[in-house]
Amino acid sequence: MTDMRLSLQAPVRRAPLAMPPVIMAAAGFLVAMVLVALIAGFLAPYHFTTQDLAARFRPPIFAGGDWAHMLGTDHLGRDILSRIIYAIRSSLLIAFAGTLIGAVFGTLMGFAAGRLRGIVDQTVMMLVDAQAAVPALFLALTLLAFFGNNILLFVVIVSLDGWDRYTRLARGLVVSEQASDYITAVEALGAGSARVILRHLLPNIVASLVVQATLNFPGTVLLETSLSFLGLGVQPPGTSLGLMLGEGRRYLLNAWWIAVLPGIVIFLTTLSMSLFGDWLRDRLDPTLAGKG
Amino acid sequence: MLRFLAVRFGRAVLTLLICVSAVFLVLRIAGDPAEIMLPDETPPDVKAYYRTLWGLDRPLHEQFGRYLLSVAQGDFGVSFADDRPALATVAETLPKTGLLGLSALMLALLIGLPLGISAAVRHNGPLDRLAMASAVFGYSIPIFFLGILLILLFALKLRVLPSAGSGTLIHLIMPTLTLALPLAGRLARFARTATLEVLGKPFIRAVRGKGVPPLGVILRHALPNAAVPLLMFLGIEIGLVLSGSAVVETIFAWPGLGRLLVDSVSRRDLPVVQAVILIATFIMVLSNLLVDILHIWLDPRLGSFEGAQSAPAH
d(CA B40, CA A16): 61
In a domain, B247, yes or no: yes
Average pLDDT over residues B280-294: 88
Q: Within this chain, do residues B65 and B5 fall inside the same structural domain, yes or no?
A: yes
Asked, as a colleague might, if the bond just before B271 is cis with ω within 30 of 0, I would say no
pLDDT computed for residue B97 by the predictor = 94
Q: Which residue has the higher pLDDT, A262 or B291?
A: A262
Q: For the ranges A52-66, A207-221, A239-253, B167-181, which has the lowest average pLDDT?
A: A52-66
Q: Do B262 and A242 touch (CB under 8 A)?
A: no
Q: What is the pLDDT of residue A6?
A: 46
Question: Does residue B102 surpass a pLDDT of 80?
Answer: yes
- HSE-up of residue B38 (Cα within 13 Å, Cβ side): 17
The beta-carbon neighbor of B148 closest among A134, A137, A259 is A259
Write out residues 35-94 of B within 8 Å (CB-CB) of A: 36
Of A129, A245, A275, the CB nearest to B144: A245
Q: How confident is the model at residue B174 (pLDDT cuts 50, 70, 90)?
A: very high
At residue A7, the pLDDT reads 45
Collapsed DSSP state (helix, strand, coil) of residue B191:
helix
Residues B102 and B198 in one domain: yes
Is B58 or A268 the better-scoring residue by pLDDT? A268
Determine the average pLDDT of the residues in A229-233: 91
Nearest chain B CA: its distance from A6 CA (Å): 29
Once rounded to an integer, what is the mean pLDDT over residues A57-76?
Answer: 83
Mutate to test the interface with B, among A22, A149, A164, A222 (most CBs of B within 10 A): A222
Number of separate domains in chain B:
2
The ipTM estimated for the assembled molecules is: 0.86
| B143 vs A contacts (CB less than 8 Å) | 222, 226
For chain B, percent of residues with pLDDT exceeding 90: 27
Percent of chain B with pLDDT over 70: 95
Average pLDDT of chain B? 84
Answer with the residue of higher pLDDT: A269 or B158: A269
CA nearest A175: which of A121, A119, A127?
Answer: A121
pLDDT at A14: 52
Angle between helix B2-29 and A136-147 (nearest 10):
30
- Nearest-CA residue of chain A relative to B278? A134
> Which range of residues forms the domain containing residue B11?
1-81+299-314
Answer yes or no: do B72 and B176 share one domain: no
**Whole-angstrom distance, CA of residue B245 vs CA of residue B276:** 13
Q: Is the pLDDT of residue B157 over 50?
A: yes
Task: Tell if the CB–CB gap between B143 and A137 is shorter than 8 Å.
Answer: no
Q: Are residues B224 and B99 in the same domain?
A: yes
Q: Are A230 and B247 a contacting pair at CB < 8 A?
A: yes
Which residues are bridge partners to B270 per DSSP?
Answer: none
For residue B277, tell me if it sits in a domain.
no
Flag whether pLDDT at A245 surpasses 70: yes
Q: What is the average per-residue pLDDT within B58-85?
A: 82
Q: Whole-angstrom Cα distance, residue A286 to residue B273?
A: 41
Residues of B with Cβ-Cβ distance to A278 under 8 angstroms: 136
Query: What is the DSSP code string of B29-92?
Result: HTS-HHHHHS-TT--HHHHHHHHHHTTTTS-HHHHHHHHHHHHHTT---B-TTTSSBHHHHHHH
A-B contacts at Cβ under 8 angstroms: 147
Q: Is the pLDDT of residue A144 over 50?
A: yes
Q: Is B120 on the interface with A (CB under 8 A)?
A: no
Residues B117 and B246 in one domain: yes
Q: Chain B 186-245, CB below 8 Å of chain A: which residues?
A: 189-190, 193-194, 197, 236, 239-240, 242-244
Residues B113 and B244 in one domain: yes
Looking at residue B49, its pLDDT comes to 81
* Confidence at A12, pLDDT banded by 50, 70, 90: very low
The pLDDT of residue B294 is: 85
Is B189 within the bounds of a domain? yes
Judge whether residue B182 has pLDDT over 70: yes
Least confident of B8-12, B141-145, B273-277: B8-12
Mean pLDDT of all residues in chain A? 85
Summarize pLDDT for A91-105 with one digit per residue, the tens: 999 999 999 999 999
Residue A16 pLDDT exceeds 60: no
| Residues B161 and B193 occupy one common structural domain | yes
Task: Tell me whether residues A133 and B156 touch, CB distance under 8 A.
Answer: no
Assign B8 a pLDDT band (cuts: 50, 70, 90): confident
Among candidate residues A105, A150, A112, the one with its CA nearest the CA of residue A131: A105
CA distance B106 to chain A (A): 20
Within 10 A of A8 (CB to CB), how many other CB atoms are there? 9
Whether residue B246 is found in the same domain as residue B100: yes
Residue B55 lies in a domain: yes
Q: Per residue, what are the HEC states of B128-160?
A: HHHHHHHHHHHHHCCHHHHHHHHHHHHHHHCCC
Distances (CA, A) of A35 to A53, A98, A106, A211, A257: 31, 19, 28, 22, 24
Asked whether the predicted pLDDT for residue A26 surpasses 50, the reply is yes
User: pLDDT tens digits for B193-225?
Assistant: 888 888 888 888 888 888 888 888 888 888 888
Closest approach of chain B CAs to the CA of A97, in angstroms? 20
pLDDT digits (tens, 9 = 90+) for A119-129: 899 889 888 88
pLDDT at A3: 46
A178 three-class SS:
helix
State in Å, rounded, how far the first CA of chain B is from the last one.
17
Mean pLDDT of A214-239: 91
pTM score of the predicted model:
0.87
**B6 near A CB under 8 A:** no
Check A126 against B189: CB less than 8 A apart. no
CATH class of residue range A20-288:
mainly alpha
B111-148 pLDDT, tens digit per residue, is 999 999 889 888 888 888 888 888 989 889 999 999 99
CA trace torsion A252, B185, A276, A30 (10° rounding): 0
- Dihedral angle computed from the Cα positions of residues A46, A50, A55 and A59, in that order, rounded to the nearest 10 degrees: 50
Q: Which residues of A touch B18 (CB under 8 A)?
A: 126-127, 129-130
Is there a single domain that holds both residue B133 and residue B258?
yes
Q: How far is CA A193 from CA A175, A198, B301, in A?
A: 14, 8, 40
Confidence of residue A10 (pLDDT cuts 50, 70, 90): very low
What local confidence, expressed as pLDDT, does residue A24 receive? Answer: 92
% of chain A with per-residue pLDDT over 90: 36
Residue B7 binned pLDDT confidence (cut-offs 50, 70, 90): confident
Contact B280 A135 (CB under 8 A): yes
Q: Are B203 and B238 in the same domain? A: yes
Taking CB atoms and an 8 Å limit, are A271 and B136 in contact across chains?
yes
- CA neighbor of B4 nearest in space, from B307, B229, B240: B307
Q: Which of B25, B79, B140 to mutate to test the interface with A (most CBs of A within 10 A)?
A: B140
Distance in Å, alpha carbon of B102 to nearest chain A alpha carbon: 16
Q: Does some domain include residue B237?
A: yes
Burial of A83 (0-12, 13-18, 19+ CB in 10 A): buried
Q: Stretch A36-47: mean pLDDT, rounded?
A: 87
**B183 lies within 8 A of chain A by CB:** no
Same domain (yes/no): B14, B125:
no
What's the pLDDT at A289?
52
Query: Distance between CA atoms of A116 and B86, rounded to whole angstroms?
Result: 42
Residue A34, pLDDT above cutoff 50: yes
Question: Do B69 and B99 fall into the same domain?
Answer: no
Judge contact between B260 and B90, C-beta under 8 A.
yes
